Structure 1
Amino acid sequence: MSTQFSMAELLNATENFSPNMIIDHGDSFLVYKARLSNGLTVAVKKLDPAAFPGFREFRAEVETLGKLRHPNIVKLWGYNASDSAGLFVYEFVEKGNLQNWLRPHVSTTNLSWQARLRIVRGVADGLAYLHGLESPIVHRNIAAVNVLLDSEFQARITNFVLARRFESAAHTHVSTFPVGTGAYTPPEYKMLGLDIATLKGDVFSFGILMWEIATGRLPQGKELAGLYDRQDRYRGLVDSKIRRSELNEANAKLYFRIICLCVPCRPENRPAMREVVQWLSQIL
């Protein structure tokens, strides 16, 4: 279980939330590198108080993530609920979020094909774990910005503020609160003006993430259409920073085929994450 930290300790650890301590940011949060009084280096995420309606999502992340233990899920050490913005205290993950490593104008270090495959497999393992729990958890916001990389480029899934725990794998969550991020958002999440969350929604988002990791960008327009029957196109799609000598033709084709299987518009046509993990095992 996670611990409730005092505001005094977090202020001290972040040097009063000094801008010099910021290591990451998003539309609704700032992340600070901090050192606790016990010597542990952590990441403190401070939420924008205007980002969410009350503390529903804050409590959801504390209750959900505080109980999870998996090598590809970021560890939540604690929180502070006394501040209107809400504060999370996570394990410190050295290389930051995946999105920055995929942006050529941000990172000058190239991610090899093998490193990208390890990242994909790590996210898949983490999602399969969440979906395979007795009461499955749907993340609802799988995106490169919500995947952290450690010193060995192993993936950690983070940002569980939109996650929901189901009583069974067949359960569907319906909400009027917007979920997902841009191109990663499954088409069924926008039906009848409601947001519908299912485990197959995470599978769609994962397929888009696989595309981004391989190509270095998000798909444009109808780029995914017809790819299933033309996997030979992969050579023109793979990120130009990846040496072609690294690619195994059969494995690269299978990689893009898995993407195609994950992103059909109809969720019932998508595989379960445990199947995706099995297919990825053939590549790795």
Structure 2
Amino acid sequence: MENGNITEYMKRTQAGVKARLRFVRGITLGMAYLHSCDPPICHGDLKPANVLISDKLDAVLCDFGLATFVENSGDPSGLTTSRSIKGSLRYMSPELFHDDEAKHTLESDIWAWACTIFETITDCIPYANSRSDGSLMVAVLQGASP
């Protein structure tokens, strides 16, 4: 899409509150759709870079490389454990850092959604004071908020 991802678009256009709220709505509807499928779909890597802006200025989710179907037990299938973390650290829920057997879930998708919405509204990346993956992981493990 020519408008690029949401971060690029907002920097280039200085998107106002109305546009940002429209994007929030689109992201929310996209995630609600994925989670309401039968079986539900866990995106696994929601972040602003994975939200494209269409020509009609709709927010469209993309990059389903880590997406999985959620089994009836609530556990997604086919993901590796956090020992070889997949996804984007700044948008990962704390339990993915704490538990060696943790996998992406609908709940961890909701965490990523909240971080994405936070960044969309405020222009502040989660854990902005953490400059490296190591310092970010320490911050999360010590209970820091995004």
Q: Which residue identity does 2:80 align to in structure 1?
A: S
Counterpart selection for 1:193 from 97, 100, 112: 100
Q: TM-score, normalised by structure 1?
A: 0.41
1:182 Cα deviation from its structure 2 partner: 2.6
Alignment of 1:127-276 (within 5 A): 127-168=31-72, 170-173=74-77, 175-176=80-81, 177-220=84-127
Q: Any stretches of 5+ residues in structure 1 without a counterpart?
A: 1-92, 223-264, 266-284
Alignment of 1:95-106 (within 5 A): 95-103=3-11
Q: CA–CA distance in 1 between the matches of 2:124 and 2:7? A: 10
Q: TM-score, normalised by structure 2?
A: 0.77
Q: Which secondary structure does the structure 2 equivalent of 1:207 belong to?
A: helix
1:120 matched to 2:28? The reply is no
Q: Which secondary structure does the structure 2 equivalent of 1:148 belong to?
A: strand
1:169 Cα deviation from its structure 2 partner: 7.1
Q: Which secondary structure does the structure 2 equivalent of 1:134 belong to?
A: coil
Q: CA–CA distance in 1 between the matches of 2:64 and 2:93? A: 17
Q: Which secondary structure does the structure 1 equivalent of 2:52 belong to?
A: strand
Higher-Rg member (1/2): 1
Give runs of ≥4 in structure 1 deviating > 4 Å: none
Q: CA–CA distance in 2 between the matches of 1:96 and 1:153? A: 11
1:94 matched to 2:2? The reply is yes
CA contact (8 A) 2:76 2:103 kept: yes
Report the identity percentage. 30
Q: Which residue identity does 1:201 align to in structure 2?
A: S
* Structure with more of its chain in strand, by fraction: 1
Q: Which secondary structure does the structure 2 equivalent of 1:197 belong to?
A: coil
Q: How many residues align?
A: 127
Q: CA–CA distance in 2 between the matches of 1:221 and 1:148? A: 22
Q: CA–CA distance in 1 between the matches of 2:5 and 2:30? A: 16
Q: CA–CA distance in 2 between the matches of 1:197 and 1:138? A: 7
Q: CA–CA distance in 1 between the matches of 2:124 and 2:29? A: 22
CA contact (8 A) 1:143 1:184 kept: yes
Q: Any stretches of 5+ residues in structure 2 without a counterpart?
A: 130-142
CA contact (8 A) 2:34 2:42 kept: yes
Q: CA–CA distance in 1 between the matches of 2:40 and 2:62? A: 17
Q: CA–CA distance in 2 between the matches of 1:203 and 1:142? A: 9
Q: Which secondary structure does the structure 1 equivalent of 2:125 belong to?
A: coil
Partner residue, 2:134 = none
